Amino acid sequence: MRQAKGAGVYNLIVIGAGTAGLVAAAGTAGLGGRVALIERNKMGGDCLNFGCVPSKALISSARLAQRFRHANKWALRPSEPQFEFAEVMERVRARRAQIAPNDSQERFESLGVDVFRGEAHFISPYEVAVGEARLRARNFLIATGSRATIPPVEGIDAVPYFTNETIFDRLNSKPASMIVLGGGPIGCELGQAFARLGVKITIIQRTAQLLPAEDSDVAQFLHRQFQAEEIEVRLNAKATRISRANCRTIVQLETGECICGEALLIAAGRTPNLSALNLMAAGVKFGQAGVETNEYLQTSQRHIYAAGDVANEFKFTHTADFAARVVVRNVLMPLQLLRQKVNWSVVPGCTFTDPEVAHVGLGENAARQRAIPYDSFRVDLAHVDRAVVESEEAGFAKILTRKGSDRILGATIVAPHAGELLHEFIVAMNAGIGLGRMASMIHIYPTLAELARKAGDQYNRTRLTPAAKKVFAWVYRRARSAG
């Protein structure tokens, strides 16, 4: 007989209904566990409401608009796309609404999960409060996610601004210009998308390149692409003061220069959501980077786990999903030796600019920092027939292997559909398939996936040393004389 909602002891209480929380709740309930799920805001968390889903819907409209402008690449007549900005934003919300039922309270209650709406905080290591309810559990998962970081710039609290959490619902009329504070993935994706929808964009980035986590050649490629699209990029630029005058936002840089824009989008990083949890009462250790966990995703209290942006170094929806699946197994297992450790050695990521920038494993910067010897193999899209016939030759793939070996250390692809193309390398790295062997696998012609085969061909050619070539030549000569 099922216990009353909130009564008794749960197997797992999940705090946060974003990707990690939803996957853990559904997985544990599906295995027969008793689960409570607590959410203070919107079901689906950042990805559904403020991140992956609405941003990719926006990007798809912006990409098509850009193709109208450059239709001559396909021997068609270019034209300025005709659209209403408000209708584009409404489409973004409509696409999101179509996916939302997958993450709804009704769906999770139908799975047997007790859903509580409100702010949760720990009372003790085994009890949390949400509103008037007091809930107890054998295990807990902290999956409260992250929010946009608001940098400590003078005057920032006195001016209106957008973050990814507000822009998709509150921006309905097209601003003439927009300043984007931050040149990471969010700033680059949204900056390019709005530029293609007719907004004059200026990106202000504190570091020496866009996408600081990427290799410099990747960042430079994207920078050139932005310049071609008349997106202004300021590098090594630190904002010191922000003000508002004549319906325009003014960002003053450390150099004294002032940049003006009708709208301001802050995309300066992420901050874990911890403040309301009262983790001290639970005895859970945490810091500025989030909740501290071990390789089993356990916190300093072994029955309390943490996953997703609130704890993971890699703040992606797919890593939150992966971590949640590890938590489901580890909550079920009674002994530590049966529990699963997380392995972050092969973690893919993609920035959905156009072209996309996708990577997995090590880049050259990371390999040099770790003093790992490597060989690098690069294939330009201009050498891939499918890219040529599609008039999409701008881009490349760069594969790193351990020095003298075909063991893949990492892969970076800058190309249309790079996020899709990367998966062949993800599988290869996880399965221990070397770059040379990838060349021997049949790839459909003509496809962009031939990038992988061509990279493998490059590696195999390095094995044809002068000595080996002499041996093969002797074998050929012998075969001719024997005939």
Domains 156-269 and 355-462 share a fold: no
Q: CATH homologous superfamily for 9-147+271-338?
A: FAD/NAD(P)-binding domain (3.50.50.60)
CA–CA separation, 319 and 326 (whole Å): 11
Residues 174, 199 contacting (CB under 8 angstroms): yes
123 CB burial (10 A radius; 0-12, 13-18, 19+) = middle
Backbone angles phi, psi at 407, to 5 degrees: -65, 125
SS3 assignment, position 91: helix
Cβ atoms within 10 Å, residue 174: 18
Residue 384 CA, distance from chain mean position: 27
How far is CA 255 from each of CA 52, 71, 328, 399, 456, rounded to the nearest angstrom? 35, 41, 51, 39, 48
Fold annotation for 355-462: Enolase-like; domain 1 (3.30.390)
Distance CA 6, CA 134 (A): 7
pTM flag (> 0.85): yes
Q: Fill in the amino acid letter for 263.
A: A
C-alpha Rg value of the chain to the nearest Å: 26
Give the side-chain half-sphere CA count within 13 A for 228: 12
Residue 202: which of 149, 255, 258 has the closest Cα? 258
Q: State how far the Cα of 17 lies from the Cα of 108, in Å rounded to an integer.
A: 10
Residues in Cβ contact with 78 at an 8 Å cutoff, skipping those fewer than 6 apart: 68, 69, 70, 71, 72
Residues shown for the chain? 483
* 8 Å CB contact between 61 and 91: yes
Q: Distance between CA atoms of 167 and 156, rounded to whole angstroms?
A: 17
Give the pLDDT of the chain (483 residues) as one tens digit per residue.
Answer: 689 999 999 999 999 999 999 999 999 999 999 999 999 999 999 999 999 999 999 999 999 999 999 999 999 999 999 999 999 999 999 999 999 999 999 999 999 999 999 999 999 999 999 999 999 999 999 999 999 999 999 999 999 999 999 999 999 999 999 999 999 999 999 999 999 999 999 999 999 999 999 999 999 999 999 999 999 999 999 999 999 999 899 999 999 999 999 999 999 999 999 999 999 999 999 999 999 999 999 999 999 999 999 998 899 999 999 999 999 999 999 999 999 999 999 999 999 999 999 999 999 999 999 999 999 999 999 999 999 999 999 999 999 999 999 999 999 999 999 999 999 999 999 999 999 999 999 999 999 999 999 999 999 999 888 888 888 888 888 888 876
- Residue 314 half-sphere exposure, CB side, CA atoms within 13 Å? 20
CA 253 – CA 274 distance, rounded (Å): 31
96-102 contact pairs (CB < 8 A, 24+): 96/48, 96/49, 96/53, 96/54, 96/57, 96/168, 99/48, 99/53, 100/43, 100/44, 100/48, 102/44
Strands 286-287 and 290-291 come out as: antiparallel
The span from the CA of 466 to the CA of 470, in Å, is 6
Predicted pLDDT of residue 483: 60
Domain boundaries, the chain: 9-147+271-338, 156-269, 355-462
- Cα 463 from Cα 460, distance rounded (Å): 5
pLDDT of residue 2: 81
Q: At what angle do helices 317-332 and 19-30 cross, to 10 degrees?
A: 30
CATH superfamily of 156-269: FAD/NAD(P)-binding domain (3.50.50.60)
Cis peptide before 355 (omega within 30 of 0): yes
Q: Which tokens go with 360?
A: 């997995």
